[in-house]
Structure 1
Amino acid sequence: MALAPRHLISLSDLDDGVLDEVLELSARLKRRTGRGELAGKTIGMLFFRGSLRTRASLETAVLQLGGSVVNLTAMSDFWELEEREGSVMDGRAPEHIKDAAAVLSRYVHALAIRPAPLGNSWDVDRRDERIRAWAKYATVPVMNMESSLWHPLQALADVLTLKERLGDPRGKELAITWVHSPTPASPSAVHSLLHAALRFGMRVRLAHPAGFELDGGVLSEAEDLARASGGTLRRELSLEEAVRGARVVYARSWQSLETYGNPTLTASQRSRHIGWRIDEKLLASGQDAYLMHAMPVRRNVEVTDEVLDGPRSLLYEQAANRLPTQMALLVNLLR
């Protein structure tokens, strides 16, 4: 009987031992090229919304391991898919995810999916039903290339970057700070980083304006992870309180879940906090603090040029680490 495929929807799908294995292999792959570990294997990549770093880094990872890639983009390469079980398909979608996943599983050895949120209700989008439907129906591993709730591929690169700069991250101070942007991102990268940092026993400080709280379920799980690892989580801090004495400042603009689905209210709420920005004076209040950001970053809105182009910025290094961590993950999932 065939074993069920191993999926990666969030980092919780990797236990501590496997996570350590992936990070150790990532470090080795930075020092050498691939050795054909994916020779004869094909990875299918499906994008239901745009991507720059994820698409380029994951495709490069497959190619450097000797594999091949099938890239499909919604609207240009295929059509809308139905994900509801038992639905009467007399609407716009001509095909069900069940059928698409079953067929594509016969062509490729793994599927990497970047689903699009519906964008109307956080209670609905936080369930990540679309990526979970692919995992349910596929007979090959499914990798999450960023859903509404999680961005595990970014978190792997983030953790590798933290370990390279800090050594053992346990007990080190990490400030996760909201910053203003006219186009805020999903909280997925911050959710994944928060859990990853606490699994490694970091002392995390979380800063954001009122109304920009992270998902309640994610925060509850984060508290559990902190208790289990000996890490700590301090919440509801000001930007200055979070950064003061921190070793790493992770800046990110994320959507308000309080006004999710209402762009008018969201824009009004966000406009009251344009002062939430990282500049040199603020970063200098850290303990020789490094800056991290998942990108894309709006220069001189989220972070000043002086910081981004300065010696404490790890953004390019962080982005570069997407490559070896994804190579290591592919080797682990497909071995």
Structure 2
Amino acid sequence: MSGDSAGRHLISLQDLGDDELRTLLEGSLRAKAEATRGGLEGRTAGMLFFRGSLRTRTSFEAAVHQLGGHGLNLNAATDFWELEARSGSVMDGRAPEHIRDAAEVLSRYLDVLAIRPALEGQSWETDRRDASIRAWAEHARVPVINMESALWHPLQALADMMTVYETLGEFRGRRLAIVWTHSPTPASSAVVHSLLTSAVRLGMEVRIAHPRGYDLDGEVLGCARDMAERSGAAIEIGTSREEAAAGAHVIYARSWQSLEDHGNPTLAASRRARTGEWIVDEALLARGDEARLMHAGPVRRNLEATDEVLDGPRSMIYEQAENRLHSQKALLASLLGN
């Protein structure tokens, strides 16, 4: 994040330089160790949710409050309306206001905007453009933070990397297995995209196991391979669950939608019906090198992962969730602190 605060948007963690990312992770650990308070007195953060949230909203609002700022939460279902993102459009459709105008107005009230944009859900080629969050960043005169778009979830990845760093002490030479898990309501691929690119950038060896038809975004994979080449990391994709877990220091369980079936719930349900065996259990965890379990949540118990591993001594799911608070405090202090 370079330039003055008005231009320091966080759409993905690629908006941070390598040194900035490392500094932010160190600041996250320090915020946790010192239970940091204050620093944002007189500042106001606006949170706009076009989709539901539990951890993101609560942890972000708590972070603002603990730093002495004031958080305003706006929900699309009750507090405002659909917004147009396309430049030059003739607004004769459902949206009564353009993001250009909403961003300009809110910039005059707020010091930072954190947004979870809506997804059109019609095609992956459309949703992957992240047109809405990028329009907010283009037109806002205050920092814009992405709270999960179709392509990226930088706040989750920041907490994930903090959790790995806190637990393992270093990234280089550590092995991360990302294992797809079965769920009747799979999440978007944004968490895994951000996790993969952040992990290889920091030097981790990453293996990804998923059923046929659940490939990640091709451009994101290309970006991750380029990062791995620069950092000396490694990526293996398409391994079995057992191969991915073998020797892993962290097993990250996550369900994500098939991009091939994006926007087609009938085909998506048919594909998922053939994946019921994709679960993380003790036998899989035991294949790792004293592997820790991570999951961004919410988790469907005994479907994505068993109670035994979720509640076991190597589970980090609650630390991972707690670290959303501390890493977001470090981010806010970096963006807005004096």
> Do Structure 1 and Structure 2 share a fold, with TM-score over 0.5?
yes
8 A contact 1:112–1:144 mirrored in 2? yes
Unmatched segments (≥5 aa) in structure 1: none
- Equivalent residue for 2:185? 183
Aligned residue-pair number: 335
- Equivalent residue for 1:67? 69
Look up the equivalent residue of 1:172 and give its one-letter code: R
Look up the equivalent residue of 1:312 and give its one-letter code: R
Deviation at 1:86, TM superposition (A): 1.1
Unmatched segments (≥5 aa) in structure 2: none
- Equivalent residue for 1:43? 45
- Equivalent residue for 1:270? 272
Query: How large is the Cα RMSD of the aligned pairs?
Result: 1.1
Q: Distance in 2 between matches of 1:63 and 1:3?
A: 20
Task: Trace 1:1-335 onto structure 2 (pairs within 5 A).
Answer: 4-335=6-337
Deviation at 1:33, TM superposition (A): 3.1
Deviations 1:89-114 (A, max 9, x none): 12211111100000000000000000
Q: Distance in 2 between matches of 1:243 and 1:75?
A: 41
8 A contact 1:47–1:113 mirrored in 2? yes
Look up the equivalent residue of 2:329 and give its one-letter code: M
Q: Distance in 1 between matches of 2:326 and 2:6?
A: 26
Look up the equivalent residue of 1:115 and give its one-letter code: P
Deviation at 1:164, TM superposition (A): 1.0
Deviations 1:30-74 (A, max 9, x none): 122334210100000000000000000000000000000111000
8 A contact 2:5–2:142 mirrored in 1? no
Look up the equivalent residue of 2:105 and give its one-letter code: V
Q: Distance in 2 between matches of 1:3 and 1:39?
A: 17
Q: Distance in 1 between matches of 2:134 and 2:56?
A: 19
- Relative distance call for 1:89 and 1:233 in structure 2 (3 A) is same
Deviations 1:255-294 (A, max 9, x none): 0001111100110011101100001111111111110001
Deviations 1:293-329 (A, max 9, x none): 0100000000000110100110000000001100000
Q: Distance in 2 between matches of 1:239 and 1:28?
A: 35
Q: Distance in 2 between matches of 1:75 and 1:309?
A: 35
Secondary structure of the corresponding residue to residue 249 of structure 1: strand
8 A contact 2:5–2:335 mirrored in 1? no
Following TM superposition, the consecutive aligned residue runs of length 4 or more in structure 1 with deviations greater than 6 angstroms are none
Q: Distance in 1 between matches of 2:253 and 2:163?
A: 15
8 A contact 2:40–2:69 mirrored in 1? yes
Deviation at 1:75, TM superposition (A): 2.1
Q: Distance in 2 between matches of 1:330 and 1:146?
A: 17
8 A contact 1:34–1:66 mirrored in 2? no
Deviation at 1:25, TM superposition (A): 1.0
Q: Distance in 1 between matches of 2:5 and 2:71?
A: 24
Q: Distance in 2 between matches of 1:34 and 1:100?
A: 33
Q: Distance in 1 between matches of 2:182 and 2:257?
A: 10
Deviation at 1:2, TM superposition (A): 7.1
Look up the equivalent residue of 2:287 and give its one-letter code: S
Deviation at 1:4, TM superposition (A): 4.4
Q: Distance in 1 between matches of 2:21 and 2:31?
A: 15
Q: Distance in 2 between matches of 1:122 and 1:261?
A: 8
Give the alignment's TM-score, normalised by structure 1.
0.98
8 A contact 2:5–2:336 mirrored in 1? no
Q: Distance in 2 between matches of 1:142 and 1:305?
A: 38
Look up the equivalent residue of 2:110 and give its one-letter code: V
Look up the equivalent residue of 2:86 and give its one-letter code: R
Deviation at 1:3, TM superposition (A): 6.7
**Identical counterparts, % of pairs:** 64
Give the alignment's TM-score, normalised by structure 2.
0.97
8 A contact 1:33–1:64 mirrored in 2? no
8 A contact 2:9–2:145 mirrored in 1? yes
Secondary structure of the corresponding residue to residue 132 of structure 1: helix
